[in-house]
Structure 1
Amino acid sequence: MPDAPAGMTPDDAPAGAMPERLDRFMARAAAAYYARRQAFGASGDFITAPEMTQAFGECLGLWAAIAWQAMGKPDPLLLVELGPGRGTLMADALRSLAEMVPECRAALRVHLVETSPRLRALQAERLGPAVAAWHDDITTLPPGPAIVIGNEFLDALPIRQFIRRDGNWLERFVQAGAFVEAPAIDAPPLPEPAEDGATQEVNEAARAVTAALAARLASQGGAALFLDYGPAESGFGDSLQAMAAHGVADPLGPAGTADITAHVDFAALATAARAAGATVQGPLPQGVFLGRLGLFSRAAILARLDPRGATRHLAAAQRLTAPEHMGRLFKALCLCHPSLPTLPGFEES
Structure 2
Amino acid sequence: MSKQFLSSIFSFNQSFRRFSYKQVKRPSLNQLKDPNEKAANDKRPKPTLNEYLRAKISSIGPLTVAEYMKASLTYCDGGYYMNKDVFGRKGDFITSPEITQIFGELVAIWLLHEWQKVGSPSPLQIVELGPGRGTMMHDVIRVLSRFGLKDLLSVHLVEVSPHLSELQAKRLCQSSEPTKDERYYHMGETSSNIPVLWYKRIEDLPNGFSIVLAHEFFDALPIHKFQKTDGKWREILVDYNVDAKKYEFVVARKETPMLKLFLSHLDLDDEREHLEYSAEGHQILEHLSLRLEQFGGFSLVIDYGHDGTMTDTFRAFKNHEQRDPLMEPGSADLTANVDFKQMRKYVGKNDRMITFGPIKQLDFMKKLGGDVRIERLKESATPDLISQLQSGYDKLIDPNDMGSIYKVFSMFPSVLRKHLSKFPPTGFD
Query: TM exceeds 0.5?
Result: yes
| 1:343 and 2:425 are equivalent in the alignment | yes
Q: 393, 400, 403: which is aligned to 1:327?
A: 403
Q: What is the match of residue 10 of structure 1?
A: 24
For the Cα contact (< 8 Å) 2:85–2:163, is it kept in 1?
no
For the Cα contact (< 8 Å) 1:229–1:263, is it kept in 2?
yes
Using a 3 Å threshold, how does the CA distance of structure 1 residues 16 and 158 change in structure 2: closer, same or farther? closer
| 1:185 and 2:259 are equivalent in the alignment | no
For the Cα contact (< 8 Å) 1:74–1:107, is it kept in 2?
no
| 1:163 and 2:227 are equivalent in the alignment | yes
For the Cα contact (< 8 Å) 1:162–1:184, is it kept in 2?
no
Q: What is the match of residue 47 of structure 1?
A: 94
Q: Which moved more, 1:24-33 or 1:276-285?
A: 276-285
For the Cα contact (< 8 Å) 1:38–1:45, is it kept in 2?
no
| 1:69 and 2:116 are equivalent in the alignment | yes
Over residues 144-167 of structure 1, what are the superposed CA-to-partner deviations in whole Å (9 max), with x where a residue is unaligned?
Answer: 000011111111111110111111
1-structure distance, mates of 2:310, 2:110: 34
Return the letter of the residue paired with 2:256.
I
Aligned-residue offset at 1:319: 1.6
Q: What is the match of residue 156 of structure 2?
A: 111
Aligned-residue offset at 1:273: 0.9
Aligned-residue offset at 1:344: 1.2
Aligned length, in residue pairs: 341
| 1:123 and 2:171 are equivalent in the alignment | no
Aligned-residue offset at 1:208: 1.9
Q: Which moved more, 1:199-208 or 1:283-292?
A: 199-208
Q: What is the match of residue 224 of structure 1?
A: 299
Aligned-residue offset at 1:192: 5.8
Q: With CA pairs under 8 Å and 6+ residues apart, which has the higher RCO, 1 or 2? A: 1
2-structure distance, mates of 1:7, 1:249: 27
What is the DSSP-based 3-state SS (H/G/I as helix, E as strand, rest coil) of the residue aligned with 1:230? strand
Over residues 14-60 of structure 1, what are the superposed CA-to-partner deviations in whole Å (9 max), with x where a residue is unaligned?
Answer: x9541111011111111111112321011111100000000100111
1-structure distance, mates of 2:150, 2:114: 13
Structure 1 residue runs without a partner (length 5+): none
Q: Please tell me whether Structure 1 or Structure 2 has the larger radius of gyration of its CA atoms.
A: 2
Q: CA RMSD in A?
A: 2.2
Aligned-residue offset at 1:221: 0.9
2-structure distance, mates of 1:79, 1:65: 11
Aligned-residue offset at 1:78: 0.6
Q: What is the match of residue 64 of structure 2?
A: 21
Using a 3 Å threshold, how does the CA distance of structure 1 residues 306 and 139 change in structure 2: closer, same or farther? same
Aligned-residue offset at 1:96: 1.4
What is the DSSP-based 3-state SS (H/G/I as helix, E as strand, rest coil) of the residue aligned with 2:80? helix
Using a 3 Å threshold, how does the CA distance of structure 1 residues 223 and 40 change in structure 2: closer, same or farther? same
TM-score norm. by structure 2 comes to 0.75
Structure 2 residue runs without a partner (length 5+): 1-12, 27-52, 174-188, 241-246
Give me the identity figure in percent: 34
